[in-house]
Structure 1
Amino acid sequence: MTVPTLGESVSEATVAKWLKQPGEAVGADEPVVELETDKVTLEVNAPAAGTLTSIAAEEGATVEVGALLGVFSAGASGSAPAAQAETPKAEAPKQESAGAEAPKAAAAAAAAPAGDGAKKLDPAAAPRTGGKITKADLMAFLESAAVGDLGPAVRKLIEEKQLDPAVIPASGKDGRLTKEDVLNFVEGKTKPLAAPAKPAAPAASASPAGAPSSASSGGKREERVRLTKLRQTIARRLKEAQNTAAMLTTFNECDMSAVMALRSQYKDAFEKKHGVKLGFSSFFTKAVVGALQEVPAVNARIDGDEIVYAHYYDIGMAVSTPNGLMVPVMRDCDKKSFAEIEKALGDLAKKGRDGKISMDEMQGGTFTITNGGVFGSMMSTPILNMPQSAILGLHKIQERPVAINGQVEIRPMMYLALSYDHRIIDGREAVTFLVRVKEAIEDPQRLLIGM
């Protein structure tokens, strides 16, 4: 098994996690190892049914395209899982020998097949501190033995819902948990399995006066985690934007009443006809396309000593994923209908959250929209997505008193922020662009007749 082609301009990746261990049987097209690049996380699947014979690149190693990841034997059957299945359950180690024996037992439990590890965790096998098992010991053991075999999307759900994977019924191949298993468990469609017995809490020991106890300090006070390739790229590109562009932000506010009324009136019929919900994203995407057509400098970029004007409208939509911020691109938005935009955005967002987004879907883009309002942000100054020259920031819709025809009324208002590169976009152009977006949202009929 070798590192596959990773995409344009991507030549190396980091081995993030081995989903299978040497000796384990693997089904055809079953994920074997996760690779992490500076743009996406991808899984390398087994070329056929067989056995993973050996691992050539350990977790954390940097590998180039074509490099050897491991040796795979097609058609062979693994012997390690069968041998482990015949091994009798280890008895709880005695107090005086717990420190020496527990790490070995924990390693054996963590190396067990995913189906057994997710369902039959034995707390007695957990490593012990000072001869006694602590809560931290047990949690670390559960993390390595259960959560370690989960995919990115499943791991994210379990962490968000604070669930114990050992009690969730698994339906995936070799007993692996799937996203659907977790959702069914959360919705009460499946009953929990018997949870592993928890050890009795150790007696509290006296500590010197004034010295913080392990309980009061919350365990580890610091933890070092290596930056992922994606996070390194995010950091580099954001700093590049600050160092390169003459970045400036202009603001406006938008009355969302008309769009909210139109959406409320047609959302049920829209979903029934198109099979997708009518959100605010399609309105803003269409408003942005219209404004870009009127102010082409906002859809341009600097390349050396030239300005490149794009006569197409590929809009990137920033999406928060378990692996970090991603900006998948919706192509040719000027040619897409409201329904097509909503479907495209929904598909890209789901792929991003599940770690299935491709390189092609991340590349290009002439303009970016980011919505901090989904997290409650009232106002922000978004950073450019280089080499683009502008980015639109949307924020939380909040009712505020505003003056309408000499009267004070309560309206649902949103702050809009346009960050732009002053090297290519003048203030007049930036303000004009933002005003056109505001006008289109406050009078959405303009979007339907191309005004």
Structure 2
Amino acid sequence: MPLRFPLAAAPRTVRLLRVPQIPRRLIFSTRSSPSKHSRIGPKSNNFLIQSQPQHLFSSSSQRCSTNTVVRVPAMAESITEGTLVQLTKQIGDYVEQDEELATIETDKIDVAVNAPHSGVIQRLLASEGDTVTVDQSIVELQRADSTSSEKSSSTEKQECDSEIAKRERETATEPVASSPVESTENRPSSTHTAKGSRPIQDAVQEEPGSGAKHERGETRIKMTRIRKKTAEHLKQSQNTAAFLTTFNEVDMSKLMDFRKMNKDSVLKQHGIKLGYMGAMARASALALGEIPAVNAAIEDGDTIVYRGYVDLSVAAAIPKGLVTPVLRNIESMGLVEIEKNISKLVAKARDGKLTMDDLTGGSFTISNSGVWGSLFGTPIINMPQTAVLGVYGIQDRPVSVNNQVEIRPMMYIALTYDHRIIDGREAVKFLTLVKGYLEDPNTMLLQ
């Protein structure tokens, strides 16, 4: 509390002998010069001592106390951490409610961190490239008044920052060692391409006998979490399942004619381009109904689970790696409905909008390498599934039709299966059924 005296009895000077627990911030006012401030010292004995009023910064403190710490959200039971790959906002930026603040890359999906309310970014509590865990603080957000503009919010932010800085200087008791300016002697001579990457060393090599010199370079970057997890998952699959692949070829003439005849009407009525994946999925669903072992799974090492549904995993390649979003219950869908839903899943994968529910489960996988021009291949099983169907490019080839050589659009298909529970007879029969449905699309429509 300030020391107060009645006006009539106020002494001209007050000699301070001892004032215990004086706040660090004091205002000293002399009687002769009220506007002049002096500091405590041996000769400073002619002043009134007034402690800082508690309300001096009450408004700014109240504003600062409304700051919200935005944390890493819960992502899934099996995911506890991720990599902060992007901060979409910087200090001082104004954000609206639900606007994206950051993107966290996990083993399976990218998780968006959104603003819980509108406001101004006060502090960034994590940096791009950091590994962050669930519930970790990453952004401090100052709540904006609903009637204030972006400009006024920015002004409040500056005032709040100024007050925070003052309080930090006043309460600091120990210096923090820092080296904001790096000397040229200690600065690394090599450069880095990305956070956490190893230096790039360019070497000049002379070609023997030519006298010419050219530069050679290398770039090293860390694997994305999705690609790293996919690599571990596929290697585990290779080490666990008894892999075997069988092949067949399909005459695509009738299916191509069917598509050509119906694609315009389907586009007009349903707004979807009629491709070949819908037919592949429909033919697979029908064949899986007849050969249930291809749609089964092994649990606990000695238990076979036969599924009464078909949840189709569609392999989709994105820049960060391979993902397999799941289309559920395709056994109850028609050709156009399957095509429409597959297009939605692929678009979500391409835009990075897949959710954990989109990637969970799956009883059978189709991998379409033909879209990139592949003619032949042996796909790898997506554990804990027991089979994967690979479909490839369509190519005109000479084939025997009724003892006559004709040029037909042919396509190879391959089934990689787990020989522990699928016999060769079942695998071959499955491919034969798929071939029959694709070569006569009307049989799929009848069912």
TM-score, normalized by length of structure 1?
Answer: 0.69
Contact kept in structure 1, 2:310 and 2:331, CA below 8 Å: yes
Corresponding residue for residue 28 of structure 1? 97
Contact kept in structure 2, 1:246 and 1:421, CA below 8 Å: yes
Query: Which deviates the most, 351-360 or 268-277?
Result: 268-277
Q: How far did residue 327 of structure 1 move?
A: 0.7
- The counterpart of 1:60, out of the listed 123, 129, 140, is 129
* Structure 1: distance between partners of 2:357 and 2:154: 36
- The counterpart of 1:393, out of the listed 390, 395, 402, is 390
Look up the equivalent residue of 2:269 and give its one-letter code: K
Q: Superposition pairs for residues 51-450 of structure 1, below 5 Å?
A: 51-75=120-144, 77-78=153-154, 216-217=214-215, 221-304=217-300, 305-450=302-447
Q: How far did residue 270 of structure 1 move?
A: 1.4
Is residue 44 of structure 1 aligned with residue 113 of structure 2? yes
Is residue 10 of structure 1 aligned with residue 79 of structure 2? yes
Contact kept in structure 1, 2:326 and 2:359, CA below 8 Å: yes
- Deviation track 1:400-451 (CA, whole Å, cap 9, x = no partner) reads 000000000000000001000001101011111011000100011110122x
Question: Quick one: structure 1 residues 445 and 68, their matched pair in 2 at CA, closer, same or farther if it must change by over 3 Å?
Answer: same
The DSSP-based 3-state class of the residue aligned with 1:436 is helix
Look up the equivalent residue of 2:215 and give its one-letter code: S
* Structure 2: distance between partners of 1:355 and 1:321: 9
Question: Quick one: structure 1 residues 216 and 28, their matched pair in 2 at CA, closer, same or farther if it must change by over 3 Å?
Answer: farther
Contact kept in structure 2, 1:24 and 1:80, CA below 8 Å: no
Question: Which blocks of at least 5 consecutive residues in structure 1 are unaligned?
Answer: 83-103, 105-129, 131-136, 145-206
Contact kept in structure 2, 1:24 and 1:81, CA below 8 Å: no
Query: Which deviates the most, 62-71 or 387-396?
Result: 62-71
Query: Which deviates the most, 67-76 or 371-380?
Result: 67-76
Question: Which blocks of at least 5 consecutive residues in structure 2 are unaligned?
Answer: 1-69, 146-152, 159-180, 182-188, 196-203
Question: Quick one: structure 1 residues 375 and 208, their matched pair in 2 at CA, closer, same or farther if it must change by over 3 Å?
Answer: closer
Highest CA radius of gyration, 1 or 2?
Answer: 2
Q: How far did residue 209 of structure 1 move?
A: 6.8
* Structure 1: distance between partners of 2:329 and 2:212: 57
* Structure 2: distance between partners of 1:268 and 1:445: 18
Between the aligned residues of both structures, percent identity stands at 46
The DSSP-based 3-state class of the residue aligned with 1:360 is helix
The DSSP-based 3-state class of the residue aligned with 2:264 is helix
Contact kept in structure 2, 1:382 and 1:419, CA below 8 Å: yes
Which one has the bigger strand percentage?
Answer: 2
* Structure 2: distance between partners of 1:448 and 1:312: 19
Corresponding residue for residue 123 of structure 1? none
Count the aligned residue pairs. 335
Contact kept in structure 2, 1:376 and 1:395, CA below 8 Å: yes
Look up the equivalent residue of 1:237 and give its one-letter code: H
The DSSP-based 3-state class of the residue aligned with 1:51 is strand
Report the RMSD for the aligned CA atoms in angstroms: 3.0
* Structure 1: distance between partners of 2:443 and 2:430: 15
Which one has the bigger helix percentage?
Answer: 1
* Structure 1: distance between partners of 2:205 and 2:394: 53
Contact kept in structure 2, 1:400 and 1:410, CA below 8 Å: yes
Contact kept in structure 2, 1:256 and 1:442, CA below 8 Å: yes
Look up the equivalent residue of 1:263 and give its one-letter code: R
Contact kept in structure 2, 1:23 and 1:79, CA below 8 Å: no
* Structure 1: distance between partners of 2:354 and 2:364: 19
* Structure 1: distance between partners of 2:337 and 2:314: 15
Q: How far did residue 57 of structure 1 move?
A: 2.2
Question: Quick one: structure 1 residues 333 and 8, their matched pair in 2 at CA, closer, same or farther if it must change by over 3 Å?
Answer: farther
